[in-house]
Amino acid sequence: MSMIKLIGLFALALTSTLAVSEESRTVRIGIEPSYPPFSYKTADGGTAGFDFDIGNAICEQMKVKCVWVDQEFDGLIPSLKVRKIDAILSSMLITSERLKSVDFTQQYYRSMPANLVMKSGSVINNPLVDLKGKKVGVQQGTTNDRFASEVLAPAGVDVVRYGSQGQLFLDLVAGRLDAGLADVVNIYEGFLNTDSGKGFAVVGPDFDDPKYFGDGNGNGIAVRKGDKALLDQLNSAIAAVHANGTCKRLQEKYFKFEVCGN
């Protein structure tokens, strides 16, 4: 074989190696971008929010390029399984049910209870009794959906499912729902603290049954079962953004309460 051919083959091999190396430094992250203040679309069509910002900080620690992939929440785990994305960073609560399908990192922020949002002045003492015959909206594929389907629906509650929290809040304002069930942070930041939320309030008890809402493990980043290499990298990066104060800084940007603690 001539020297010219050898040099050509070496160059081709080097180019291929560099391409693979570059590809391996990209992580495709699924996010549902209509869950303020954790993730939402900006006026120019970009994405913003606590999840988006902390995800970029985590990728910076890992020295990889984040490629964000928009997806409705109930499609995130299916997309992960068929390798359309490499990870899910979208305020996904770590639960025993989800751990059957995916592996989770340690929590990157502490979860908050779910609550009902209804017209101001509404009184809910016993949800299983007081919500009977009423329409309660939930975001499809969430822990709230599973709880409502397995606990509220058998008690006579009409559970209505939505692709996003924003759609749910629109129907609540329009009078097509009696109540919405959602994470209390999203209720306040995505609805009550906006003009649309005037005349509505959080009512009734907290919903925090560990069977549905986790056992205190908070919200984690999901990866495919057995993807230990990526899981270990993400865990190291999460620890770093907590240790270097990034999580606290983002907490102060988006919230008026603690989410970065254990």
Residue 159 lies in a domain: yes
pLDDT of residue 17: 37
Same domain, 190 and 225: no
pLDDT of residue 211: 85
| pLDDT tens column, 51-86 | 999 999 999 999 999 999 999 999 999 999 999 999
Domain containing residue 150: 114-213
Same domain, 68 and 166: no
The pairing of strands 219-224 and 87-93 is antiparallel
Same domain, 102 and 118: no
Which region among 7-11, 53-57, 83-87, 255-259 has the lowest average model confidence (pLDDT)?
7-11
pLDDT of residue 14: 42
| pLDDT tens column, 148-201 | 999 999 999 999 999 999 999 999 999 999 999 999 989 998 999 999 999 999
Number of domains into which the chain is organized: 2
pLDDT of residue 6: 45
Residue 165 lies in a domain: yes
pLDDT of residue 189: 87
pLDDT of residue 261: 72
Same domain, 200 and 241: no
Radius of gyration of the chain (CA): 21
Same domain, 106 and 120: no
Estimate the crossing angle of helix 246-254 against helix 228-243, to 10 degrees: 70
Cis peptide before 37 (omega within 30 of 0): yes
Structure tokens at 115: 């609550």
Cβ–Cβ under 8 Å, residues 37 and 50: yes
Residue 208 has pLDDT above 90, yes or no: no
* Rounded CA separation 80/224 (Å): 6
Same domain, 209 and 220: no
pLDDT of residue 262: 64
Residue 153 lies in a domain: yes
The mean pLDDT of the chain is 90
What is the mean pLDDT of the segment spanning 216-225? 90
Task: Give the C-alpha distances (Å, rounded to integers) separating 134 from 123, 148, 175, 178.
Answer: 13, 12, 12, 6
Percentage of residues in the chain with pLDDT exceeding 70?
89
Can you give the three-state secondary structure of 89-118, one letter per residue?
EEEEECCCCHHHCEEECCCCECCCCEEEEE
Residue 261 lies in a domain: no
- The domain that contains 18 carries what CATH number? 3.40.190.10
